[in-house]
Amino acid sequence: MKSWLHKAVVLAIALFGMMLAGGCGAGENNSAAADTNKPLVINLSGGDSGLPSPYSHYPRGPGTFKMSLIFDSLLERGEQGYIPWLAEKWELSPDGKVYTFTLRQGVKWHDGRPLTAQDVKFTLEYFAKHIPVSNDLEIDGKTIVESAEVINDHTIKIAVTKPNATILGRLGTVRIIPRHVWEKVDDPKKFTAPAATIGCGPYVLKEYHKEQGAYKFEAFAGYWGPKPQVQVLQFIPVSDSMLAFNKGEIDLTAVTADLLARYENNKEYVIKQNPAFWGYRLLFNMEKRPELKDKQVRQAFAYAINRQELVDKVARGAAIPASAGYLPVSHIWYNPNVKQYDFNIEKAKELLQGKKLTFTLLISSEEARIAELLKISLAQAGIELVIRSVDGKTRDAAVISGDYELIINGHGGWGGDADLLRTAYVAQSPDQSPSSRGIRGYSNETISTLCKQQLVELDPVKRKMLIFRLQEVIAEEIPQIPLMNTTGYIVYRPAKYSNWRYMFDHHEVSHNKLSYLAVQ
């Protein structure tokens, strides 16, 4: 463990050195605007994601990303793994229970006050009392932090309740908030004053219009880290992102596979294909429909859904059929040998043994085409769907409240730490986001045991074996139906800006803070 950790730290520090070198070199991979010393303004399509404070942003990716532009964390998610950020280094005690972080010096809050270890300690203690929207400091509703001790202004020791494989990432990505702002705030969810968006990150929030879904961020002149390459980042309302991109109103957009030809073989544009870390899944609610507790019924669903048809007709080929073991092909611990369910109506009928079933399927309007195809194919096996379409926020609320029989949920995060299997199949916390909710009314002792074992296994080789076994059991049990993982494409004009980059576990370049900073 110590050897593995040492290697990880060395790699991370080496990567950061490269990043800083890139910052000093002013990024040859950047914009023409930057070369002329003109402030670079990047426009992206808007949409309301809430006020970007840790307590007011919308829990999906766009909300978390905007908040992270303002608030830094001890570590960041680079292209190859976690990298030093506010913490320039860290050590782990031999028993795996105490992390000592050394904070970078010269870090300032947006109001000019210095960041110290007291702010980190305050953040951990405040988040324990007041759960933020994105909360990685709890597992199964219990805090992972036992205590936080300030050694000096730039050193903090954090003791955890017990070692596990996900602690460094959990502690490292907590967004640090200023004690001098939040210590007098008793109800953070109602705290929307301008001070609620004082962070120490590379960008300052200048404008937010909830009704329009419009935001304006400006580079923080006193930022400690890699120099922002984009001086102004705006999210503007557009009715059609492709049309807005073609008019030059926005600088990057997603492009469907059938429109790729318009931009291919044209030096004016660059096209990138995203990693398959975004996907759709069909959730069963076994509390409302106990017949779904029958594994044969669930397997019948799996055989009666033509996932390749979804890829071909809905994603136009820009996706891959999802694995029955949940972790997608692009995941570092994907097990290619799990049971899969090729489209087979006769096998589905055999498993149903003549049963005729009817379910209500709740979707958001964006999943209408998927729902239509599911309705047609499942009907051939004897399963009728009554489709009910709502807006996305209502669908997310139903995932949380459990007010559904079947539901289609589309979200990112499929490339994260493999502990996501525990949250997707076992955990039931009231604070879980819609993208990590477990299956209502379902439990399986083998899955639960494997989930617990992988969480505390610190040897990466042994943990990988547990994760592989876990995918095998999940695929056999099929407690939910992973449908497809989209790859999708983005297009941008390199003459305007070309520093777009992916995080190691995420599919969206525009959600990566490093895309806007002078890193290589």
The predicted-structure confidence for 292-309, as pLDDT tens digits, reads as follows: 999 999 999 999 999 999
Q: How far is CA 169 from CA 74, 76, 135, 144, in A?
A: 10, 9, 12, 12
Cα dihedral 425, 426, 429, 431, rounded to 10, equals: -30
Query: Which are the contacts of 145, defined by CB distance < 8 A and separation ≥ 6?
Result: 124, 128, 137, 158, 159, 160, 161, 171
Residue located via tokens 């984009």: 230
Tell me which long-range contacts 207-210 makes (C-beta under 8 A, separation of at least 24).
Answer: 208/51, 208/52, 210/48, 210/50, 210/51
Whether the Cβ atoms of residue 344 and residue 303 lie closer than 8 Å to each other: yes
Q: Give the integer Cα–Cα distance in Å for 3 and 417.
A: 20
Chain-centre distance for alpha carbon 369: 24
- pLDDT computed for residue 505 by the predictor: 84
- pLDDT computed for residue 199 by the predictor: 98
The model's pTM is 0.82
- pLDDT computed for residue 434 by the predictor: 55
Chain-centre distance for alpha carbon 48: 18
pLDDT tens figures, 74-133: 999 988 889 999 999 999 999 999 999 999 999 999 999 999 999 999 999 999 999 999
List, in sequence order, every residue forming a beta bridge with 207; answer none if it has no partner: 216
- pLDDT computed for residue 429 by the predictor: 56
Q: Which residue has the higher pLDDT, 365 or 341?
A: 341
- pLDDT computed for residue 431 by the predictor: 53
How close are the terminal C-alpha atoms of the chain, in Å?
30
Q: Reduced to 3 states, what is the DSSP secondary structure of residue 258?
A: helix
- pLDDT computed for residue 23 by the predictor: 35
In 3D, which of 406, 408, 357 has the Cα closest to residue 384?
357
For the chain, give the percent of residues with pLDDT over 70.
91
Cα dihedral 400, 406, 411, 413, rounded to 10, equals: 80
Least confident residue range of 74-88, 258-272, 299-313, 427-441: 427-441
- pLDDT band for position 233 (50/70/90)? very high
- pLDDT band for position 140 (50/70/90)? confident
Q: Give the integer Cα–Cα distance in Å for 389 and 401.
A: 17
Residue 289 reports pLDDT greater than 80: yes
**DSSP code for 115:** P
- pLDDT computed for residue 493 by the predictor: 97
H or E stretch at 74: none
- pLDDT computed for residue 79 by the predictor: 87
Strands 82-84 and 406-411: unpaired
Least confident residue range of 78-87, 147-156, 436-445: 436-445
Helices 295-304, 345-352: axis angle to 10 degrees equals: 160
Whether the Cβ atoms of residue 314 and residue 373 lie closer than 8 Å to each other: yes
Q: Give the integer Cα–Cα distance in Å for 482 and 319.
A: 13
Q: Reduced to 3 states, what is the DSSP secondary structure of residue 506?
A: coil
3-state secondary structure 145-203: EEEEEEEECCEEEEEECCCCCCHHHHHHCCECCCHHHHCCCCCHHHCCCHHHHCCCCCE
Q: Give the integer Cα–Cα distance in Å for 499 and 488.
A: 19
- What is the pLDDT of the chain when averaged over all its residues? 90
**386-412 mean pLDDT:** 92
Residue 437 reports pLDDT greater than 80: no
- pLDDT band for position 28 (50/70/90)? very low
For the chain, give the percent of residues with pLDDT over 90.
79
pLDDT tens figures, 60-74: 888 999 999 999 999
- Quick one: CA dihedral 47, 48, 53, 58, positive or negative? negative
List, in sequence order, every residue forming a beta bridge with 383; answer none if it has no partner: 357
- pLDDT computed for residue 507 by the predictor: 87
Q: Give the integer Cα–Cα distance in Å for 112 and 107.
A: 9
Least confident residue range of 314-318, 377-381, 492-496: 314-318
H or E stretch at 488: none
Query: Which are the contacts of 203, defined by CB distance < 8 A and separation ≥ 6?
Result: 69, 70, 217, 218, 219, 220, 228, 233, 516
Q: How far is CA 471 from CA 88, 429, 475, 516, in A?
A: 36, 22, 6, 36
Give the range with max mean pLDDT: 91-95, 214-218, 316-320: 214-218
Residue 270 reports pLDDT greater than 50: yes
- pLDDT computed for residue 22 by the predictor: 36
**DSSP code for 342:** -
